[in-house]
């Protein structure tokens, strides 16, 4: 489906109004918002009224707008959703110690996957990728896992198979010299927080070693799932 068919004009206009605050202005008048966006004042007034109702903006006694508490809550939740390094990185170190290969944690971002955390193999010849790198979600072991353990509607047959077996092994899909094994890290609904992987050069990361890595991955993913559920439950409770 073309990307433009998924866009909602009213939502885009409301987001454009919120984006004006990125310019560093704490408070903005109706006129300033209209000038910055090019919208009619009547349109701005209507959209800001909806945003105010849901707590994304507040209006002063003088009629100026400022960001509301809902924006703060979203920002806090966003920070906490990525503020899990102390939970995830020890898991990656355990996997590297057990397998002597590179371990990583990926999350899905739209049609891409983000290498959020990574601990490289101690070997000089290794699969290397920087943290913060984006890759396509439709290739590679973690990509297939993230697709299979997203919301279960409209899964492709291949994703269904991955979901049933609970892991994916890729052999040279993205890089012809690299093999990888990945498993999901799941929330209480069976949807992936992210995917754990162990990757290595195919010249030494043979079938036996891949399945040994899979055993370690499955064990660590189960423990990490529990730890992240506890973390996010605490975050939800703290933000009301």
- d(Cα 207, Cα 223) in Å, to the nearest integer? 25
- d(Cα 92, Cα 105) in Å, to the nearest integer? 8
Residue 59, C-beta contacts closer than 8 angstroms, at least 6 positions apart: 48, 52, 65
Which CATH number, 1.10.287.3510, 3.40.50.970, 1.20.1630.10, 1.10.10.10, labels domain 3-67? 1.10.10.10
- The per-residue pLDDT for 3 is 45
DSSP run (H or E) holding 93: helix 85-99
Yes or no: say if 163 and 189 are a contact pair by the CB < 8 Å rule. Answer: no
Domain layout of the chain by residue ranges = 3-67, 78-238
Instruction: Output the CA torsion sign for 195, 197, 202, 205.
Output: negative
- The per-residue pLDDT for 77 is 63
Which CATH number, 3.40.50.300, 3.40.50.1100, 1.10.1740.10, 3.30.450.40, labels domain 78-238? 3.30.450.40
- The per-residue pLDDT for 2 is 45
Residue 145: name the closest of 233, 38, 58, 218 by CA: 218
- The per-residue pLDDT for 237 is 74
The tens-digit pLDDT sequence of the chain (240 residues) is: 344 456 789 899 999 999 898 777 789 999 999 999 999 999 999 999 999 999 899 998 888 999 988 887 777 666 655 678 889 999 999 999 999 999 999 999 888 898 989 999 988 776 667 788 888 899 899 999 999 998 766 778 889 999 999 999 999 998 899 999 999 999 999 999 999 999 999 999 999 999 999 999 999 999 999 999 998 888 777 655
Residue indicated by tokens 């002063």: 60
Q: What is the DSSP string of 50-81?
A: HHHHTTSEEE-TTS-EEE-HHHHHHHHHHHHH
- Determine whether 12 is exposed, middle or buried from the number of CB atoms within 10 Å of its CB (0-12, 13-18, 19+): exposed
């Amino acid at each position: 489906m073309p990307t433009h068919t998924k866009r909602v004009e009213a939502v885009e206009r409301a987001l454009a109004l919120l984006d004006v605050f990125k310019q560093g202005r704490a408070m903005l008048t109706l006129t300033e918002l209209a000038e910055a966006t090019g919208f009619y004042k009547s349109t701005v007034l209507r959209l800001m009224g909806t945003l105010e109702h849901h707590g994304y903006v507040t209006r002063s006694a003088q009629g100026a707008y400022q960001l509301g508490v809902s924006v703060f809550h979203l920002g806090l939740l966003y920070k906490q959703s990525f503020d899990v390094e102390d939970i995830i990185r020890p898991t990656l170190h355990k996997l590297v110690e057990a397998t002597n290969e590179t371990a990583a944690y990926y999350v899905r971002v739209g049609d891409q996957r983000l290498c959020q955390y990574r601990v490289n193999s101690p070997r000089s010849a290794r699969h290397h990728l920087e943290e913060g790198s984006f890759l396509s979600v439709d290739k590679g072991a973690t990509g297939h896992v993230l697709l299979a353990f997203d919301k279960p509607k409209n899964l492709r047959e291949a994703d269904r198979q991955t979901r049933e077996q609970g892991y994916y092994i890729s052999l040279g899909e993205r890089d012809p010299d690299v093999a990888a094994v990945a498993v999901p890290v799941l929330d209480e609904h069976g949807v992936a927080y992210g995917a754990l992987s162990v990757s290595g050069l195919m010249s030494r990361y043979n079938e036996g070693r891949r399945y040994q890595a899979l055993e370690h991955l499955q064990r660590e993913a189960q423990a990490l799932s529990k730890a992240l559920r506890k973390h996010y439950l605490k975050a939800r409770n703290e933000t009301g």
